[in-house]
Amino acid sequence: RRLNVRVNIELLSISNPVHKKDLAVRLTDDADPFFLYNLVISEEDFQSLKSQQGLLVDFSAFPQKFIDLLQQCIQEQNKDIPRFLLQLVSSASVLDHTPVSLNVVETNPFKHLTHLSLKFLPGNDAEIKKFLASCLKCLKEDKMMLEEKLRKTEEDLTRQLSYTQQSLSEKSRELDKLKNEWTSYTTALTNKHTQELTNEKEKALQAQAQYQQQHEQQKKELENLHQKSIQQLQNRLSELEVINKDLTERRYKGDSTVRELKAKLSGIEDECQRAKQEVLSLRRENTTLDAECHEKEKLINQLQTRVAVLEQEIKDKDQLVMRTKEVLDATQEQKAILEESTEKKQSHIEKLETTIKSLSAELLKANEIIKKLQGDLKTLMSKLKLKNTVTIQQEKLLAEKEERLQKEQRELQEMGQSLRMKEQEVLKLQEQLETTIQKLEESKQLLKTNENVITWLNKQLNEIQMAKKLETSASAHGGARTAISPHGMPDRPSFPSSGINHPISPLYAYQNFPEAAHNKNVNSQCPIQFNTQFSKMNRCPDVQTATAAGHPANKENGDNLGLESKYFKKKEDSIPLRGLSQNTVNSEYLKPYLPAKAQPSPKAAVTPASAYFPG
């Protein structure tokens, strides 16, 4: 099985009774607290370990070397085939309560080399308890440190929270102020923009037709250009694909030739190395033979000196002639044997020299062949580089063409989207045109009704003027205050119940005529607010009027009913009319003055009128 093990290495120095240094190594597992193996190596134990395993390191340098080996194992642990391994081997099947050997192994394709093998003993109960106590002490210290850090961070966070809450309240106040300012600003802006929008819509309607024509022309031109460019690019693409295929074929051929040349080169290099090894071995043999020859020559020189001494002794001592002759014979025989051996060795040396010369010549030839192959390789590599540069340039060109194609496709899509947007805008503008045409027709109908009302009011004004003339004539003759209208009713009736003392003009009774003419479907129980203003006619003087109450909008069309502003221009020669003050007038008092068509319904109530007619 595979484990992550923690290795602790300590140097223990003991001074009592003798100064010693021990190396303590401990194996532990962070996941298993009962996994504990110890090893204590003294200097004497290290000497025996050094002699057993053939170590070349002293006891002082051993811990650092062991740490270096462990670091190499750590660097190689994540690889699929690690070079350095830590093997924990035990005799039993389980790693508990049995001695264990820790091996640092270097793996290669040929053999697993064990650089170091250390035997560890399992920890007993006392050692495990001591180890667990130290672990617990470290954990408690870490816990205390973390608690202090947590307390400090909590205090900092509470301070930051209070500060942020204060800043948040200030910012919220500022935000409220800004919101109020923004709402006022936005209302002003919306009013401005509505006016600008109406002006811009009119301009847009005019520019729309021009833009549509220009857009259709541009669309046709762009489509033609795009089709031509697509055809050109497609033709270019087909040509580039053919060129790319040829280049890839050439590249594959070049790769195959390079591989063959590399294989040949590796074979030649192997042969060269073998030849070099043979040369080295022959040189070593030659050196040994030279040493032997030198020794033999020394022996020959010694023997020659001895012979000279013996000859002198022969001259001096005739008695010892026989003995010296025998010695001479023996020495001559030995000399002959030595000469024969020297001749044989010289012949062997000559043969070796010839073989060395032939090998050197072969080596020179091999070096020349290698140089030629290297030159061929360089030329091939330069050709390959040229081909690669050409292919890279062509790939870049292809990428640029593809990017241009993609850009043109994106532009096409954007043009289509803009076309759709323009079509939607055209549809919206057509709908707005239809609504404006409907409003125009309704305003024309309103104008017609207003003209009818004006003609009728002109007739009434003429009758009033005639009545006034009759009053002036009657006052001149009889001094009567009241005048009878042509219809046989008093001209200006008073309304004591409503608090109006001065008489009211009969024209006030016709104020709800436009409302009665247009709003036939309105519920009679609803209060009606009138906006009456009289215009100057061609036949009679103008009537001076002032209005404050606004006319209610027509619920169906959203337009204002009543007369237009051109009918209410003030002139100096206008005849003032007596009218109502800001008091309510019941429409029942005005029924005799109204024609049958313009009389209000009995349920309709007249709102207070703000017009005052000075009389």
Write the pLDDT tens digit of every residue in 419-467: 888 888 888 888 888 889 989 989 889 999 999 999 999 999 999 999 9
Q: Determine the distance from the C-alpha atom of residue 450 to the mean position of all C-alpha atoms in its chain, rounded to a whole number.
A: 68
pLDDT of residue 485: 42
Q: Which two tokens stand for residue 122?
A: 């399992």
- In this predicted model, what pLDDT tens digit does every residue of 104-122 receive, in sequence order? 998 888 888 888 989 888 8
Q: Which two tokens stand for residue 393?
A: 């340039």
CB 3 within 8 A of CB 77: no
Give the ranges where 35-124 is alpha helix by DSSP (H): 43-53, 62-76
Give the ranges where 478-563 is alpha helix by DSSP (H): 513-518
For the cut 80, the answer to whether the pLDDT of residue 160 exceeds it is yes
For the cut 90, the answer to whether the pLDDT of residue 516 exceeds it is no
What is the rounded average pLDDT for all residues in the chain? 77
Q: How many Cβ atoms from other residues are within 10 Å of residue 599's Cβ?
A: 19
Give me the residue spans of the domains in the chain.
Answer: 5-123
pLDDT interval class at 143 (50, 70, 90): very high
Q: Please tell me which residue, 499 or 329, carries the higher pLDDT value.
A: 329
pLDDT of residue 576: 44
CB 598 within 8 A of CB 457: no
Architecture of domain 5-123: Beta Complex (2.170)
Beta strands in 266-363 (DSSP E): none
Q: Which two tokens stand for residue 289?
A: 């033979």
Q: Which two tokens stand for residue 496?
A: 């004591």
Looking from the CA of 268 toward its CB, the CA atoms found within 13 Å total: 19
For the cut 90, the answer to whether the pLDDT of residue 76 exceeds it is no
**C-alpha distance from residue 9 to each of 6, 138, 217 (Å):** 10, 18, 87
pLDDT interval class at 31 (50, 70, 90): confident
Looking from the CA of 368 toward its CB, the CA atoms found within 13 Å total: 6
Q: By percentage, how much of the chain surpasses pLDDT 70?
A: 75
Residue 442's contacts (CB-CB under 8 Å, 6 or more residues apart) are 557, 559
- Helix (H) or strand (E) segment spanning residue 97: none
Is the alpha carbon torsion for 167, 173, 175, 177 positive or negative?
negative
CB 187 within 8 A of CB 373: no
* Residue 8 to residue 26: CA distance in whole angstroms: 5
Q: Please tell me which residue, 60 or 577, carries the higher pLDDT value.
A: 60
One-letter amino acid at 158 equals: T
23 burial via Cβ count (<10 Å: 0-12, 13-18, 19+): buried
For the cut 80, the answer to whether the pLDDT of residue 603 exceeds it is no
* Residue 29 to residue 524: CA distance in whole angstroms: 99
Least confident of 205-214, 336-345, 371-380, 550-559: 550-559
pLDDT of residue 476: 67
**Long-range residue pairs from 203-207, CB within 8 A, at least 24 positions apart, any chain:** 204/429, 205/429, 205/433
- Helix (H) or strand (E) segment spanning residue 112: strand 112-122
Is the alpha carbon torsion for 137, 138, 144, 147 positive or negative?
negative
* Residue 548 to residue 562: CA distance in whole angstroms: 14
β 36-41/100-107 pair status: unpaired
**8-state DSSP, 490:** B
Residue 106, classed as helix, strand or coil, is strand
3-state helix, strand, coil in the chain (%, to 5): 65, 10, 25
CB 229 within 8 A of CB 221: no
pLDDT of residue 92: 67
One-letter amino acid at 249 equals: E
pTM of the model: 0.29
Residue 123, classed as helix, strand or coil, is coil
* Residue 102 to residue 115: CA distance in whole angstroms: 11
pLDDT interval class at 478 (50, 70, 90): low
CB 549 within 8 A of CB 531: yes
Q: Which two tokens stand for residue 233?
A: 């690019």
Which whole number is the average pLDDT over 388-405?
A: 88
CB 34 within 8 A of CB 125: no
Q: Please tell me which residue, 80 or 321, carries the higher pLDDT value.
A: 80
Four-CA torsion 174, 176, 177, 183, nearest 10 degrees: 140
pLDDT interval class at 552 (50, 70, 90): very low
For the cut 60, the answer to whether the pLDDT of residue 550 exceeds it is no
Return the closest-CA partner of residue 541 out of 588, 504, 573, 587.
573
Which whole number is the average pLDDT over 33-43?
A: 87
* Residue 498 to residue 583: CA distance in whole angstroms: 7
Residue 541's contacts (CB-CB under 8 Å, 6 or more residues apart) are 571, 573, 574, 575
CB 240 within 8 A of CB 398: yes
Q: Across-strand partners of 106?
A: 84, 113
Q: Which two tokens stand for residue 10?
A: 């300590």
Q: Please tell me which residue, 152 or 578, carries the higher pLDDT value.
A: 152
Least confident of 220-224, 366-370, 511-515: 511-515
Q: Determine the distance from the C-alpha atom of residue 236 to the mean position of all C-alpha atoms in its chain, rounded to a whole number.
A: 35
Q: What is the largest CA-CA distance in the chain?
A: 223
Q: Which two tokens stand for residue 60?
A: 């002082």
- In this predicted model, what pLDDT tens digit does every residue of 274-312 receive, in sequence order? 888 888 889 888 888 888 888 888 888 888 888 888 777
